[in-house]
Structure 1
């Protein structure tokens, strides 16, 4: 399959940067921006994404559609796309790159394929791909190899199997570690602050867990404007582990932490508004001031 036009659902924090990379390497990117927010429209404009208006126009014009949404929107969006695929009669390649549980991506795959589309399970590991070699897009399913041409357009595509659910499962396991650890770190730093133990804890971590402290120093300040999106991701991980006979409670708790952060002043910032010079220390002092109302009796 020749890929010339890629539809992006949706040009948010991740989708916008993917579109920029593809455009810089010569691909045309599209989005359906009817009824979308001013921020989404601005991000699309900055990425030189063509607005085709409706989802129907997106299906007609795109060679493939890349779905990069908050987890809660993944199924609903596929359900909106499927009847359009059926009506248009086009075997559109639909790539679900959302952070969702394997069981859910299998259901979404069925929705798309029953409508006559082709489906790829994908997962994105790493930050938005502004810097080469930091972001991987894993793919699985019988049509996964059709994504490999995107390697020539700046994306690191890695096919890991022919089963739907493999790519999403990898994302769930990876994010359970990285974002689960960030949630634990956030909670323990708030607890230490409320116990008056900021300095002793930092000294001990610097002495015995310097690598972990360095990781949290990078991860927590960048997490705050994304906390609202990570709630759903933790819930998807909880569902994944529960389906495997493991406890879901760890990641339900992580979702709770991100739910608390979401309602703070830091959590209400957009990624563009975040002060990139803000330190870990200043962040968790702000968490304490903003979150106390939620966690104290």
Structure 2
């Protein structure tokens, strides 16, 4: 079986850390990482600490990070996926694999593939199909493209759960994007419906009614989980949903649901509240309090000014 002796990450956030935690003692002997946060003085210290804690070789530029790596994992935010691929294409060497794990539209993935493959790299469209916790490196992945067959043994050697999807680059990401309409949309619907219910003091009745209609869903628990996800990852989810909206638009369909989901994900993510539990009532109250505080500031009267 093919082995990965040198591996690089572009973007070093939750997903990269989760993969590393899952690999544990089976990790490749040399792992390098570059995250653009190291270019920002206010964020650099925390990111360098991340590298130390995860026992990887942190780099201050992308070229240094991917140099000589057999496999490059791109794990940036959706809005940075093209920029990451364009930067990597300037330095990638023939035969290096570029695993584009970012949640972006099929067209973006196809543009990224052109850049990487033209430079001699081996581009693979990778769709991460569930949160990286708790499954870590065993999180289900879909992979496709002309280099997917060659890449599969590399994923296997890392103990990863990758499934080949037949078709050109963009097929795996299409599955991810279209599925997100439902997954992230349910989160947004939870926020709009149950925050309104909580504010109107009818949330127990609404939840009871939903439980009667969908008895196996466990609405109270799922509501808390959905709000917690948005609070922690709303900004990143909003970036993904913009790509989802673009995907739907490119299919010639109405993307109003994806756009509305983007708005809710962004609004809750921007609040930057700590989610210390997954209890619906606690999280809903925290969100409503913060939203009302922001509305009060926005609605504050402007000091009277003399008209000359």
* TM-score after normalising by structure 1: 0.88
Moved more, 247-256 or 199-208: 199-208
- Which ranges of structure 2 fall in alignment gaps of 5 or more residues? 300-308
Q: Secondary structure at the match of 1:161?
A: coil
Cα pair 1:21 1:153 within 8 Å, conserved: no
Gap change, CA 1:8 and 1:130, over 3 Å in 2:
farther
Aligned to 1:31: 33
Pairwise CA distance, 1:224: 1.0
Question: Judging changes above 3 Å, is the alpha-carbon distance between structure 1 residues 170 and 215 closer, same or farther for their aligned structure 2 residues?
Answer: same
Match of 2:304 in 1: none
Task: After TM superposition, give the deviation of residue 39 of structure 1 in Å.
Answer: 3.1
Aligned to 2:197: 192
Report the count of equivalent residues.
Answer: 287
Once the two structures are superposed, the pairs formed by residues 1-297 of structure 1 within 5 Å of their partners are 2-28=3-29, 29-32=31-34, 34-35=38-39, 37=43, 38-85=45-92, 89-128=93-132, 130-131=134-135, 135-149=139-153, 150-210=155-215, 211=217, 213=219, 214-266=221-273, 269=274, 274-275=275-276, 277-292=277-292, 293=294
What whole-Å deviation, never above 9, does each CA across 1:182-221 have from its counterpart, x for those lacking one? 1111111122223332222122223333415143332322
Instruction: Check whether the contact 1:190–1:284 (CA below 8 A) recurs between aligned residues.
Output: yes
Distance of 1:53 and 1:146 partners within structure 2 = 30
How far the C-alpha of 1:139 sits from its partner, in A, is: 0.4
Distance between the aligned counterparts of 2:16 and 2:27, measured in 1? 17
2:187, 2:227 within 8 Å by CA — same for their partners in 1? yes
Point out the structure with max Rg over C-alpha: 2
The gaps in structure 1 that reach 5 residues or longer are none
Provide closer, same or farther for how the CA distance between residues 157 and 129 of structure 1 changes in structure 2, counting only shifts above 3 A: farther
**RMSD between aligned residues:** 2.3
The residue matched to 1:51 in structure 2 has which SS?
A: strand
Q: Which range moves more in the overlay, 97-106 or 122-131? A: 122-131
Tell me the TM-score normalized by structure 2: 0.85
CA positional deviation for 1:83:
1.2
